[in-house]
């Protein structure tokens, strides 16, 4: 039950990131979130949309795993690992904050999934 709640929250987070990166990239909210100047946001709009699409795929994988119930264990495991690894990479290359926003929740969900709670 705890794993399911954590996975659902992580999926929602990645859907929110999808929206920010694909459609709201140049808005004040997205610029504050990602610490962007208006000029840089305009220059990187297409790249951000691509990143947003990938975040959508991560969310879709987790949602598929949740929809499959116990049969979706492998989906949940795979996509949580992808999210945790991407978070570590993002923390090293972009912002340490990603470690706490993305990696930590994924690791906690992985632990709950493995523990069966």
- For residue 100, the enclosing domain spans 2-115
Convert 5-41 into a string of H (helix), E (strand) and C (coil): HHHHHHHHHHHHHHHHHHCCCCCHHHHHHHCCCHHHH
Mean pLDDT of 23-46: 96
Count of domains forming the chain: 1
Q: Calculate the average pLDDT of the chain.
A: 96
Q: Mind listing the pLDDT tens digit for each residue in 91-111?
A: 999 999 999 999 999 999 999
User: Each residue of 11-25: pLDDT tens digit?
Assistant: 999 999 999 999 999
């Amino acid at each position: 039950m705890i794993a399911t709640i954590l996975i659902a929250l992580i999926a929602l987070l990645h859907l929110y990131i999808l929206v920010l990166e694909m459609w709201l990239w140049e808005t004040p909210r997205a610029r504050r979130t990602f610490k962007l100047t208006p000029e840089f946001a305009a220059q990187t709009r297409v790249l951000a949309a691509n990143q947003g699409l990938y975040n959508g795929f991560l969310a879709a994988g987790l949602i598929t795993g949740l929809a499959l119930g116990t049969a979706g264990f492998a989906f949940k495991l795979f996509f949580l690992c992808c999210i945790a690894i991407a978070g570590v990479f993002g923390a090293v290359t972009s912002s340490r904050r990603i470690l706490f926003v993305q990696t930590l929740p994924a690791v906690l969900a992985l632990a709950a999934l493995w523990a069966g709670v």
